[in-house]
Amino acid sequence: MAHTPQRRTPRRVVDGVLFLDKPLGLSSNNALQKARWLLKAAKGGHTGTLDPMATGLLPLTFGEATKFSQTLLDADKVYEATVLLGVTTTTADAEGEVLANAAVDATDADIEAALERLRGDIDQVPPMYSALKHHGKALYEYARAGIDIPREARRVTIHSLEFLAREGDSLKLRVACSKGTYVRTLASDLGALLGCGAHLTALRRTRIGPFELESSISLMDFEALPETDRDAELAPVDALLVHLEVMALDAMQATSFTHGQAVQVCSDAVGRMFRVYAGERFLGVGTLGEGGMMAPTRLVATGNQ
């Protein structure tokens, strides 16, 4: 029987940022691919992963915006976490196998005292079930094979750690933290300090840098939109760069800049990065060098703005 080739969905140029509220049970990459398919976008990326059991804010980039996906990797983040005391798991979250059960006799005052020890600059050992690499292979691959790799503690900053509510042995916390923080490790460390063990049962990211969950759209709502209305949900290509100062160029400077040449500008902020415009048109990101020379760091394709 002759094989009938499947018809692929035609892809198109789509440029912008989608602030997605990632659903439970979906990997960040699967969420990206679903959104990309809904937009028929030729190119897409995300700005740092959320575990499948986590929900919340996941900015997705498309087209020219993918050039700036890395900008949020260093940003501070805020999470709402649910932690169950008295149960320790292999992964420090609800996806792992139970290792131990223990009675919980911690009072609210005990919990608050333990949380205080976890605030500020702390050393955190990354979990084995993580995407960190060892000799080119993710740690979770070793963990699944029963191999434990020694990990060095890393310094992270817990800007705030709020005790929001308690229902039995289940705690609701709000965590504001620096990049590289593992909230499930925080849950495990809290359990260790209380002497009963603990693991993370739910996690929701509510903020990344200046971006709030309230500005996002769920995958279900995005899919329910008419196909012609989906592009309107995209923020512009420069949406992830609001933390950078603006540098405006005239037409002659813009021509040189977009051809990869440094241009003279009026600024003495040597070493600082700027988002660069010609009128309303976003050109890319530039870095200021000695003598007021602004050199292009990352340009967007002409005509995409």
Buried b (16+ CB within 10 A) or exposed e, 138-168: ebeebbeeeeeeeeeeeebebeebeeeeeee
**Does residue 156 carry a pLDDT above 50?**
yes
pLDDT in tens, 104-133: 999 999 999 999 999 999 999 888 777 778
Q: For residue 224, what pLDDT band results from cuts at 50, 70 and 90?
A: very high
Identify whether the C-beta of residue 248 lies closer than 8 Å to the C-beta of residue 256. Answer: no
Q: Give me the mean pLDDT over the 130-154 stretch.
A: 83
Nearest to 67 by CA among 290, 259, 257, 305: 305
Tokens describing residue 290: 């000695």
Q: How far apart are CA 299 and CA 276, in angstroms?
A: 9
Give SS3 for 190.
helix
Q: Which residues pair with 98 in a beta bridge?
A: 89
Catalytic residue at 51? Answer: yes
pLDDT at 145: 82
Domain boundaries, the chain: 16-75+211-237, 77-201, 244-299
Q: Give me the mean pLDDT over the 30-38 stretch.
A: 96
Q: How far apart are CA 203 and CA 83, in angstroms?
A: 9
**Does residue 304 carry a pLDDT above 50?**
no
16-75+211-237, what's its fold?
Answer: Pseudouridine synthase (3.30.2350)
**Does residue 2 carry a pLDDT above 70?**
no
Q: Give me the mean pLDDT over the 263-284 stretch.
A: 94
pLDDT at 127: 83
pLDDT at 67: 94
* Model confidence, pTM: 0.89
pLDDT at 6: 53
Q: What is the mean pLDDT of the chain?
A: 92
Tokens describing residue 145: 């094979």
Q: What is the CATH number of domain 77-201?
A: 3.30.2350.10
Nearest to 79 by CA among 168, 189, 208: 208
pLDDT at 305: 46
Q: How far apart are CA 76 and CA 41, in angstroms?
A: 29
Q: Give me the mean pLDDT over the 92-110 stretch.
A: 96
* Same fold yes or no, 16-75+211-237 and 244-299: no
Q: Which of 51, 93, 189, 238 is catalytic?
A: 51
Residues 6+ apart with CB under 8 A from 256: 263
**Does residue 205 carry a pLDDT above 50?**
yes
Planar angle of CA 207, 232, 248, nearest 5 degrees:
75
Q: What is the CATH number of domain 244-299?
A: 2.30.130.10
Q: Give me the mean pLDDT over the 91-100 stretch.
A: 94
